[in-house]
Structure 1
Amino acid sequence: MKIIVTGSLGNISEPLTKELIRKGHAVTVISSSFERKTAIEALGAKAAIGTMEDIDFLAETFRGADVVYAMEALNAGSFFNHDLDFIEANTKIGSNYKSAIEKSGVKNIIHLSSIGAHMKEGNGILTFHYNVEQLLNELPEDVSIKFMRPVGFYYNMFAFIPTIKSQNAIFQNYGGNNKEPWVSPLDIAAVIAEEIEKPFNGREVRYIASEEISPDDIAATLGKAIGKPDLKWIAVTDEEMLNGMIGAGMNPKTAKGFVEMNAARGNGLLYEDYRQHKPVLGNVKLKDFAEQFAAAYHQ
């Protein structure tokens, strides 16, 4: 099949591209960076260099594809851009995808959404995933869409490193012994590759998770991996979390979105729909990621 992969060679798109090529598919990878062209071609894929803001470029790239894998992607530095509305910017990318899909005539879409996309409000920065799912659901009925809803990514734990080093603790505005799901990008890529080869039929939702583990157990696992067996996960108030993020330079509106998202994790609202549609857990467990975390910590 002819498959379009967005997200350049990111944490999900690179392993996805490798797997699709291994299976014999013709893959085109969209990237905004010309410097990535050589690396994309080295994998055996075709590079399409352009931006998610260019609807004509997207439509031309999508045209004739059997499947398009679409994801919204803003770099982590965007969290600290005080001139950027994070939710609005990501929603606009989703709107661009909708327009490009309509113009190109492509009929099979896999969209990287997220846990929390079932919530219109109360999900913080994840609101844009709800927005984009609603936009794509406005497409004609003959466009089949699979909404992939992964849970929190293991690699988001890299953000814990500064306070572990400075205060020997992880600080979040939730915590304790209640298990919550986490996921590896490798498991996400594996599920997407599987879904690409399965029949498309209307609108479908699939959650993706690797392991369910509590904040306290996360601290214990990461602490053991980095040689700090006394590492603690400490729950702070929403206000303390918000002030800490703003003090670190984060856009205040984005910081508020993070705090609201974490609060929904703590009270369980974020996981209500997930609990009703629990997936088979993937292969990559926290202890596997902990090795990668330890390497980053000791750099």
Structure 2
Amino acid sequence: MKVVLTGSLGNIGEPLVKELVENGHEVSVISSRASRATEIEALGAQALIGKMQDVAFLTWAFTGADVVYLMETMEAVGDMFDTAVDFNGAISQIGEHYKQAVAASGVKNVIHLSSISAHTNKGNGILLFHYNVEQSLRSLPEEVNIKFIRPVGFYTNLLSFIRNIKSKGLITSNYGGDQKEPWVSPLDIASVIAEEVDLPFEGRTVRYVASDEVSPNEIAHALGRAIGLPNLKWEVISDETLLRHWLGIGFNAQVANGFVEMQASQGTGQLYEDYYRNKPVLGKVKLEDFAQEFAKAYNVAEF
């Protein structure tokens, strides 16, 4: 099949391209950076260079595809330290561009990389834009089949703790403790998407993706052991303290408030309510596996 991917060659895109090519699909990859073309072609895919904000380009890129894979990221619209960026607005607009391009191109099968909590516009903080994009795509005509893939929190998000561990010897967040929560590896996400490409498309479906379920304290123990700090602690601070810190280092206010709200929802379990109603089979990459990757990044990081 002809498969067109947005998202270039990120943590999900690269393994996904490899798997789809190995499965015999004709793969094209959209990237905004011309410098990515050589890497994309080296994987056996065609490079399509253009922007997600360009509906005419997207329409051209999608035309003739059997399946289109859609994703959007904060990095695609700006720096989290740029106080002028409206991330929710800009990413929600990309969703509208996707909708217009899918309709104009005649594509009938879509896979959308969404997120946990995209079923609601309440209490999900910075993840609100995933809800907005899902709603845009759901307004497409019924003959357009859409598979919404909703991963939980990425293991790679834990890399943001490296600076604090190196400077203060601990992890700090506005939630913590022994309550387990789901985490996911980009490799498991790529495998699920590749699997869904080959499965029948019918109507609108939702599939959650997770690799492991562990508590904040278990995360601290696993990461600490991997980096030689077996007594590493996960310290809980207030929402106000965390927000003040992030604003103090220059975070975009929408981003800072959005992450505080999202993480508070992690602590109460609200973020995972629909996940547990539709719990998936867990993937292959466990926390202990990621801890080794974390240790490599930790050991070379300089702050």
TM > 0.5 fold call = yes
Structure 1 residue 227 displacement after superposition: 0.2
Query: Letter of the aligned partner of 2:252 in structure 1?
Result: N
Note if 1:137 corresponds to 2:138. yes
Q: Which residue number in structure 1 is paired with residue 177 of structure 2?
A: 176
Question: Structure 2: any 5+ residue segments left out of the alignment?
Answer: none
Q: Which residue number in structure 2 is paired with residue 289 of structure 1?
A: 290
**Equivalent residues of 1:4, 1:62 under 8 A apart:** yes
Q: Which residue number in structure 2 is paired with residue 104 of structure 1?
A: 105
**Equivalent residues of 1:108, 1:143 under 8 A apart:** yes
Note if 1:271 corresponds to 2:252. no
* CA–CA separation in structure 1 for the residues paired with 2:71 and 2:241: 32
Q: Which residue number in structure 2 is paired with residue 207 of structure 1?
A: 208
* CA–CA separation in structure 2 for the residues paired with 1:74 and 1:239: 24
Query: Letter of the aligned partner of 1:134 in structure 2?
Result: Q
SS of residue paired to 1:298? helix
Question: What does 1:67-86 correspond to in 2, within 5 Å?
Answer: 67-75=67-75, 78-86=79-87
Q: Which residue number in structure 2 is paired with residue 245 of structure 1?
A: 246
SS of residue paired to 1:110? strand
Deviation string 1:65-97 (CA, Å, 9 cap, x unpaired) is 000000012328621111101111111111110
SS of residue paired to 1:141? coil
Q: Which residue number in structure 2 is paired with residue 27 of structure 1?
A: 27
Structure 1 residue 124 displacement after superposition: 0.1
Q: CA RMSD in A?
A: 0.8
Q: Which residue number in structure 1 is paired with residue 229 of structure 2?
A: 228
- Give the share of equivalent positions with the same residue, in percent: 61
Q: Which residue number in structure 2 is paired with residue 123 of structure 1?
A: 124
* CA–CA separation in structure 2 for the residues paired with 1:179 and 1:235: 15
SS of residue paired to 2:120? coil
* CA–CA separation in structure 2 for the residues paired with 1:231 and 1:97: 44
* CA–CA separation in structure 1 for the residues paired with 2:104 and 2:12: 26
Structure 1 residue 47 displacement after superposition: 0.2
Deviation string 1:137-156 (CA, Å, 9 cap, x unpaired) is 00000000000000000000
Q: Which residue number in structure 2 is paired with residue 50 of structure 1?
A: 50
**Equivalent residues of 1:85, 1:254 under 8 A apart:** no
Deviation string 1:190-242 (CA, Å, 9 cap, x unpaired) is 00000010000000000000000000000000000000011000111000110
* CA–CA separation in structure 1 for the residues paired with 2:160 and 2:284: 23
Query: Letter of the aligned partner of 2:39 in structure 1?
Result: A
Question: Structure 1: any 5+ residue segments left out of the alignment?
Answer: none
Paired positions, count: 299
* CA–CA separation in structure 2 for the residues paired with 1:125 and 1:227: 33
* CA–CA separation in structure 1 for the residues paired with 2:46 and 2:207: 28
* CA–CA separation in structure 2 for the residues paired with 1:296 and 1:20: 28
